[in-house]
Structure 1
Amino acid sequence: MGALLYCLKRADNPTLPLTFPSFTQTSELSSKSNANATSSFATVSAVCSSLCDFGWSILKSSLVEDDKTPIRSGDGAVEFRPVEISTLAFSLDQVKQIKDKLRVAINDVIAGIIFCGTRLYMQGRGNKMQNSNSTALVLLNTRNIDGYKSLKEMVKVGKETAWGNRFTFLHASVPDPIIDETFNPLEFVFRTKKIIKKKRSSLAVHLTGQILETLRKYRGPEAAAQYIHTLLKNSSMTISNMIGPAEQMALADHPIKGLYFMVVGVPQSLTITVMSYMRKLRIAVGVEKGFIDSQNFISCLQNAFELTFKAANKSG
């Protein structure tokens, strides 16, 4: 993505660089989180939790598979089947409004809406599937940089700007639906916040990253790719997000109205990516064609967003 952004210029003034949301707050939160994590790792319970999470990650990469559900066919060679891609956009200001009302992170809001929409879709496709075991793989960037780097900076030799992918996975169980008369979509946001906070404070995320790096160094990229392939195959969905430019971009003097990215060729029936651009948050959904109804799924995500937005405003 860095190489692509390097080829794009600002539509209003090509001589000015693209600007991105500040990473200062994220860094501060990350430092605070790391400090809290360091303190919590000193306790026996935190160590046990990390070992359990890491053991679960190993099992998911080898033996344990998610249930077959309306979002996971479980068939072999899914990565070679046709993929249907659909998108929808939310107002970034409205997403931030939800964040401020609930006092959570933007990622908690986004993931909560995605999980709520996913469960609504699963519930609509069959009630017997609504409490099934479904796991989402959340991609985490482990590159040690404090913001956007240009292509020239990326190819320079150095630890902070080394070229290539640096990532790990966070396993997040899709929260079970709340099926009663007092259904509250905000519960998905709060549950998601709890799950992600627990996983982020676990050493399992870092250990998983170390496994990938060790496999790549000592057994070659094929072994690392096989590990990732099995991890994806045994899970139900992948969620990946990226912060995009705040200004409108242009390619060869042609303004770009919308921008999204998609991961294809993975052994999953459902892949979701999120990218901000020009005060809009665009969600792209890649599904196994003929198995998942993409338009129905998009409608469920839209419904989940509207329900969450209304509930958040009422809670304030």
Structure 2
Amino acid sequence: MERHIGERKETRANDPSSSSLSLCMGSSAADKFSDEPITPIGGFFLQPQMDQIIHCTMGFKNPIDIAAIKSHLKTSLLLSHPRFSSLMVRGPRGLKKWQRTSHVDVDHHVIVVHNPVTASSNFDHETAVNAYLADLSTSSGLSADKPLWEFHLLMAHNCGVFRIHHALGDGASLMSLFSESFRGAEEEEKLPALGSVGKKKNRVNGEKGWWVLLIGFVGMVWFSLIFVVEFALRSLWVCDIKTEISGGDGVELWPRKLATARFKLQDMKLVKKAVPNATINDVLVGVVSAGLSRYLDQRTPNGLPEGLRITGMAMVNLREQHRLQEQSDLMKSNSGLSWRNKFGTVLLPIYYQKSSGTDPLGYLKRAKVTMDRKKQSLEAFLSYKIGCILMTYLGAEIATWLLYRAVSNTNFVISNMLGPQEEIAVGGNPVTYLRVNTSSVPQALTMHMVSYAERADMQISVAKDIIPDPEFLAKCFEEALVDMKEAAH
């Protein structure tokens, strides 16, 4: 496998010069707004090795009206939000912090692309947009001379791409902000209904209930301890056996390709009913496990050992309420829901099984067992706290090296974000689809699924010299869900 040789890209969010600061805000304006230090996790995403930009793609129903979109942005909650109206600067001791600016020039943030390089008669709209996103994944980042976000309008493909630095917030924060800034398409004053996760059932009281609690506590301690040990080993040297989807150190610099797997939420809900107490996340992990097994069957003619472990990382929202909150709730610093990066990661093992002759629902059953153990442990919470402690007490360089090693020694990243259940609109233009992906990471495969208006689209980003055919991989995932649906009937 040929590896691209090149120097590591420079940090995308470079510190603005004093002259650029003076253009945005005078000394009196600077004194007027209080500064806020960047959180440890936010600082992690500003390091060169893990510099992360979130790309949120919106497809529009009608032709793009640039003036209407700019007007909407100027009056939306987006521009009044502190994170979207602050510059990332360095303080006297070199510590990074957010500094409010007195004015945000929308014209400097809205990038109109009339004829993207990917616009060609050989591309359909989806392929062209994915090619544009793939280019953004490894291209130059966001300038710190302005707040760390942009909105690219691809006029030829009737879609917009929000580029938002991960240091500004996590997926739950950003989705809440979008949902309140871009009201429902049919009723501007109505906040779109947001997906939610059902509440956990209370344990049974009495003697049996105490035994259940005791067993649950022992399980929590055991599975949490296993995670701490495994995470430490992954940060040093432990990794899986190399397969056709394995990435590693430096792969974040390699060229990318994107493809989209499309699912119906109704199909996923039907499949989850086939296994008692299963969730949509269980179904997603089962689909990924089945799809990767199907893909590896095609890419590995000599076959792989049955039950081969392939370890990924899954993102977990750590807020007390797993539903998407209104923006007013997220901004309360003492509510536990405050605006910041508040998510953990879990090491997610899936196991290769030959796709022929395997019960499609077997993948879901195995995924549920794995996910139940993750829920029982404190793995997501501990990963968040460990990251904060490392950044605070060991410094950014050492902490980033350790966390980067852990990421490099896994094979994929996966996340599932609950989006609006009803149509949203930007500048009065209804949004037909909503998709998310991020800039490059050391893994050769990243998968981000967002549910929106009864559909779920998963953006699949790959290092194209390792996984040259992401369209086929997307088809494997789609066919895996179809097989599960048929088996569930």
Q: TM-score range by the shorter chain?
A: 0.7 to 0.9
Q: Which of residues 269, 272, 282 in structure 2 aligns to 1:99?
A: 272
**Alpha-carbon distance in 1 for matches of 2:280, 2:340:** 27
**Alpha-carbon distance in 2 for matches of 1:117, 1:306:** 11
Give the match for residue 161 of structure 1. 337
Q: Give SS of 2:465's match.
A: coil
Give the match for residue 432 of structure 2. 257
Larger helix fraction of residues: 1
**Alpha-carbon distance in 1 for matches of 2:272, 2:318:** 24
2:224 is aligned with 1:50: yes
Report if aligned partners of 1:142, 1:166 keep a CA contact under 8 Å in 2: yes
Give the match for residue 164 of structure 2. none
Q: Give SS of 1:66's match.
A: coil
**Alpha-carbon distance in 2 for matches of 1:141, 1:309:** 28
**Alpha-carbon distance in 1 for matches of 2:247, 2:323:** 38
Identity rate of aligned residues, in percent? 25
> Residues 88 and 235 from structure 1, CA distance in 2 versus in 1: closer, same or farther, beyond 3 angstroms?
same
CA drift at 1:302: 1.6
Q: Which of residues 232, 236, 243 in structure 1 aligns to 2:407?
A: 232
**Alpha-carbon distance in 1 for matches of 2:463, 2:250:** 11
TM-score (norm 2): 0.58
Report if aligned partners of 1:37, 1:202 keep a CA contact under 8 Å in 2: no
Q: Give SS of 2:461's match.
A: strand
> Residues 46 and 251 from structure 1, CA distance in 2 versus in 1: closer, same or farther, beyond 3 angstroms?
closer
CA drift at 1:120: 0.8
Give the match for residue 117 of structure 1. 291
Q: Which of residues 222, 240, 263 in structure 2 aligns to 1:90?
A: 263
Q: Which of residues 316, 322, 339 in structure 2 aligns to 1:140?
A: 316
Report if aligned partners of 1:140, 1:169 keep a CA contact under 8 Å in 2: yes
Give the match for residue 266 of structure 1. 441
Q: Which of residues 306, 312, 315 in structure 1 aligns to 2:482?
A: 306
Give the match for residue 207 of structure 1. 382
AA of the residue aligned to 1:163:
W
2:421 is aligned with 1:246: yes
Give the match for residue 184 of structure 2. 10
**Alpha-carbon distance in 2 for matches of 1:179, 1:145:** 37
| Larger relative contact order, structure 1 or 2 (CA cutoff 8 Å, min sep 6) | 1
Q: Give SS of 1:261's match.
A: strand
CA drift at 1:220: 4.2
CA drift at 1:217: 3.0
* CA deviation vs aligned residue, 1:192-216 (integer Å, no higher than 9, x gap): 1011112221234433232112123
2:365 is aligned with 1:195: no
CA drift at 1:179: 5.9
TM-score (norm 1): 0.88
Pairwise CA RMSD: 2.5
Structure 2 stretches lacking a partner, 5+ long: 1-173, 204-209
CA drift at 1:229: 1.9
Report if aligned partners of 1:69, 1:129 keep a CA contact under 8 Å in 2: no
Q: Give SS of 1:28's match.
A: coil
> Residues 204 and 72 from structure 1, CA distance in 2 versus in 1: closer, same or farther, beyond 3 angstroms?
same
* CA deviation vs aligned residue, 1:229-268 (integer Å, no higher than 9, x gap): 2221100001101000011111111111111111222111
Give the match for residue 185 of structure 1. 360
Deviates more, 1:147-156 or 1:52-61: 147-156
Larger radius of gyration: 2
Q: Which of residues 45, 52, 66 in structure 1 aligns to 2:240?
A: 66
2:463 is aligned with 1:288: yes
Structure 1 stretches lacking a partner, 5+ long: none
CA drift at 1:185: 1.4
Report if aligned partners of 2:289, 2:352 keep a CA contact under 8 Å in 1: no
> Residues 49 and 253 from structure 1, CA distance in 2 versus in 1: closer, same or farther, beyond 3 angstroms?
closer
